[in-house]
A and B are shown apart, each in its own frame.
Chain A
Amino acid sequence: MPETLDTLAQSLSDAVVNMDEERTRELAIAVVDLGLNPLAAIERGLVDGMNRAGKLFETEEYFIPELLLCSDAMYAGLEVLRPHLPNASEVKKHKIVIGVVEGDTHDIGKNLVKILLDAAGYEVVDLGRDIEPKRFVETAIREGARVIALSTLMTTTMDAMADVVRLLAEGNLRDRFKVIVGGGPISQAFADRIGADGYAASAPAAVKLVQRLITEPA
C-alpha cells in the first residue's frame, strides 16, 4: 500500500502514543524520503500523538514515565523533520518563559509542562530551577514572551511567585504578561491571592490554560 501523508501521519501519531522512539524516527525518515510535507507530518502526526498522550495522562491511564517516553519519541521525529521545514514556514510562535522559582530545585513537574507546551506549538524559554524573580521578568521582556509560567514543589518557596507578580506590577508591566502558577502546594486560591492569571493542577491543564489566556483580549 502506498504510504500517503494521511497514513504516515496516523502512524506517527500512534508511534508517539505507543512510546516507540525507533518507529517514530523511521516514519519521519519515510516522510522525508517520499518528499511529503514535513510541517503537516509534525502537526498531524507527532503533535497529535503527544496530545493523545496528554489526554491519557489526564485520565490517569498514563503516568509521568509514559508521558516522557512519548515525548522522547516526539522529539526523535522532530529531529528528523525540522531540518526539512522551509524557512518561510516558521510561523511566529507565542513565547512562554518557564522556570522553578528561587529556593527550589524540584523540576520534574516543570519539565512535563514544558514538553507539553512545546508539543502544543509554543516556543518555550526554560530558565531551569532556583530562578530569582527578576530573571523571570527580564527574560520575559527580552524575549517578548506572552506568558510567564512559575513552578514549585515547596511550600517554603511559593511566596517567590508573588514576588514575580509584584515586580511586574512595580514595573508597570503587569498587563503585558500572563502569569500562571503550578506545583504541589499551589492551588487556585493561592493563584487568586497573589494575583496570578491562572493555576493548573496538571501539565495538560497548563496547556489548556495557556491556550485560553493567550486568546483572551489583553
Chain B
Amino acid sequence: MSKVTFALQGITVRVDAGASLLDAAIQAGILVETPCDGTGTCGKCRAKASSATGLIAGVYANDLLSDAERAAGWVLACQTKVIGDVTVEVETSVDDGLKIISDGHELAVKIRPWIRKVFQTELLTTQVYGGAKLLATEPSDTTQFGYGLSVDIGTTTLVTSLIDLANGQELASASSLNPQARQAQDVLSRIKLGSQPDGLRQLRNDLMTEINRQIGEATAAAGVIPRHIYEAVFSGNTTMLHLATGTNPASLGKYPYTPSLSGGCHLPAEIVGLAISQHGLVYLPPIMSAYVGADITSGILATALAHEGGVVLFVDIGTNGEMVLAVNGTLVATSTAAGPAFEGMNIACGMRANRGAIERVSLTERRIDVQTIGEGEPIGLCGSGLLDAVGELAATRGVDANGRFQFKDESWPWSKQWDVLDGKPIFRIAGPVYLSQKDIRQVQLAKAAVRAGIELLLKSNDLQASQVDRVLIAGSFGFHLRTESLIHLGLLPPEFENRVHFVGNTSKSGGRAFLLDYHTRDEMMSVTQGVRVLELANDPAFEKTFLRSISF
C-alpha cells in the first residue's frame, strides 16, 4: 500500500501500488473532471506532484502537457501510477459558486396532489392516501404536514426541491453536482458502468446518498420532518432514471437504443431507497425513448407544448440536445449527440460554470468585454461564454465560414488578440483564457448536431424555419445564452430571431407540476404516447444535414 496525500484538501488515502492517481482521488472523495473518462485524451485531470518519486507518469498523454509543465511536476492523474508515498496537489471541481439553474418556466398549476390526508375525528388518526389507496395511518391530526419533492436528476447536476402539497409553495431547495460523475463523467460511460451489477449498485448508491443528503439539507432549512414527505417526482433523462431505479441501462447504449423503463408509474420510496416516509412513493414521468426522457416530458408539461397553437419548437441544449416540435399540438421529438463542449468540456480553457468562468463575451470597438461568474478574475470559459466567444468571432469574421481563424487579416479590429501557442494560432480573450482552433472545431461539431436535429424535425413536418412561431430554449444554460450568439453560430437559423424565449430548467418546473397536479400524469401519458420520436441514426439525410451545418 502507498500513501497519497492531497495537499489542497488535506486528505490522505492508501492505495494499492499500481493504482492510478485518479483512483486515489476518487477514493479520497475528490471530484476531478474527467470528460474523457480517464483515457488520457482530454488533459483535464491535472495534478502537481511535489517530487517525482512515488509516481510513474503515463506516456500516452504526451501531447497534453508541455515540457515545461512536465518539468514542473505536472502529470495527468488518470495516466499516472502510484508506486510509493507521494504528496500531490489536485484542483477540485467543487461546486463553489456553481450556478445551477433552479428556476424554470413557471406554469400555473392546479393544486390537486396525488397525496391526500384525512383526519378521522372519532379515531384521532390521520389517513394518508395515494390516489384511492390508503398508504398509511398516522396517530393524531397531521393533516397540516403534507410535503412532496421534485427531484431533477441531471447528468451533471441534481436539484431537489421541497414543496408544500397544500399550496404548491417551494419551501427549500438543495442543489449539487451529480456524484456519479466521480465514477463516470458522461451518460455513455455511466451506461457502460451501470451495465455491470457492481457498477449499477454503486452508481445508484452514490445518487441516492446524495439525494438523501439534499433532502436532509432542504428539510432542515424548512423545518420539515422527512417522514412527512409522501411523494417524490424523479425528473431526469432516460439513463438517469434507469440508474436511479437500479434498472440495467445496457440496452440504451447499443443500437437500436431501447429503454427498459417506460415511466408513468409509481415505485415505493422504500425500494428506491429514498429517505422520506416509509410509505412514500416515487413517481416516474413517462419516458419517450432512450434519448428523449422524462425530463423532456416535464419540459412538454412545463411549457404546455401540447396545448400551444401554431408551430413551437422546444430545445433543451446540453450534452444531448433534445428537441420537440409542436405543430398545433401534434408533437415530434428527437435528440442529437452534441458532446460536452456546451458544458465547457474538451475545450482548451473550458470549465464548468464556477467562479471565474467567463460567461459572456462581446467584441466591441476594438475591445473585448467579458463578464465572469462571481466577478472573479477570468480563469476559463464556461458553456455560455464559449458560445458567445465563438459566436462573436463568427459574426465579425474572425473565423471564416469554414471556421478557420483569420489571423492574417491585420485590418480586423481585434487582430492584436491573435497569438501563437505551441506553434499554433490562438485567440486571446482575457487573462490566461484563450480559444484554440480545435475549440472552434468542437463548437462547430456540437452546434451542427443541434442544428441538424432542428432541420430534420422541420423537414419531417414539411416546414421551413420561417414558419416557426416560437422557440423555447431550456437547459443547463438557462438564461445565460444570448439569442444573437446562437444565431451567429448557426446553432439556430436566422429566421428564429425575436422568436426565442429562454424557459430555464423545465425538467424541474415540470417535475413540480407533476407533483402538484396528478391530473397531468394521465394527460402526459396520452401526450407522450402520441409523440413521434425521430431516430436520426436511421435518417439517411442526417449526415448531409449535419455536415452542411458545420459551417458558420
Contact = CB atoms under 8 A, between A and B. Distances in A.
Interface of A: 60-66, 68, 102-108, 111, 130, 153-157, 184-190
Given A102-B254, A155-B191, 12 more contacts: A60-B438, A63-B403, A63-B550, A64-B550, A65-B550, A111-B543, A154-B188, A154-B253, A155-B192, A156-B254, A187-B41, A188-B60
A184 B188 CA distance: 12
A105 B537 contact: yes
B480 interface: no
Contacts of B255: 103-105, 130
Given A103-B253, A105-B537, A156-B191, A60 B424 contact: yes
Contacts of A184: 339
B254 A103 contact: yes
Contacts, number: 77
Instruction: Name the residue in B191, B255, B550 with the highest tally of chain A Cβ atoms < 10 Å from its Cβ.
Output: B255
A190 B550 CA distance: 29
Contacts of B546: 108
Contact of B543 (A62, A63, A108): A108
A208 B37 CA distance: 27
Interface string B427-445: 0000000000110010010
B130 interface: no
A187 B441 contact: no
B402 A185 contact: no
Contacts of A105: 255, 537-538
13 contacts: A63-B550, A65-B550, A68-B547, A103-B254, A107-B543, A153-B337, A154-B253, A155-B186, A155-B191, A156-B188, A187-B36, A187-B39, A189-B39
B263 interface: no
A60 B441 contact: yes
A111 B79 CA distance: 30
Interface in B133-188: 186, 188
B551 interface: yes
A142 B402 CA distance: 41
Given A189-B39, A190-B39, A155 B547 contact: no
Contact of A64 (B252, B538, B547): B547
A41 to B, nearest CB: 28
Contact of B444 (A63, A103, A108, A190): A63
Interface in B325-343: 337, 339
Contacts of A60: 424, 437-438, 441
Nearest to A184: B339
Interface string B16-45: 000000000000000000001101110000
B112 interface: no
Interface in B180-207: 186, 188-189, 191-192, 195
Q: Which 4 A-B pairs have the closest CB atoms?
A: A156-B253, A103-B254, A105-B537, A187-B39
A108 B58 CA distance: 30
A7 B319 CA distance: 49
B37 A185 contact: yes
B30 to A, nearest CB: 22
Interface in B522-552: 537-538, 543, 546-548, 550-551
Contact of A185 (B39, B437, B550, B551): B39
Contacts of A106: 337, 537
A148 to B, nearest CB: 20
Contacts of B250: 156
A189 B192 contact: no
Interface string B46-80: 00000000000010100000000000000000010
Given A65-B551, A190-B39, A157 B253 contact: yes
B194 to A, nearest CB: 10
B404 interface: yes
Contact of A189 (B40, B254, B441): B40
Interface in B437-459: 437-438, 441, 444
A65 B538 CA distance: 21
B254 A157 contact: yes
Contacts of B58: 189
A189 B79 CA distance: 9
Interface in B246-295: 250, 252-255
Contacts of A111: 543
Nearest to B543: A108
A87 B40 CA distance: 48
A105 B250 CA distance: 16
A102 B424 CA distance: 37
Contacts of A154: 188, 253
Contacts of A153: 337
A69 to B, nearest CB: 9
A155 B188 contact: yes
A155 B191 CA distance: 9
Contact of B402 (A63, A108, A155): A63
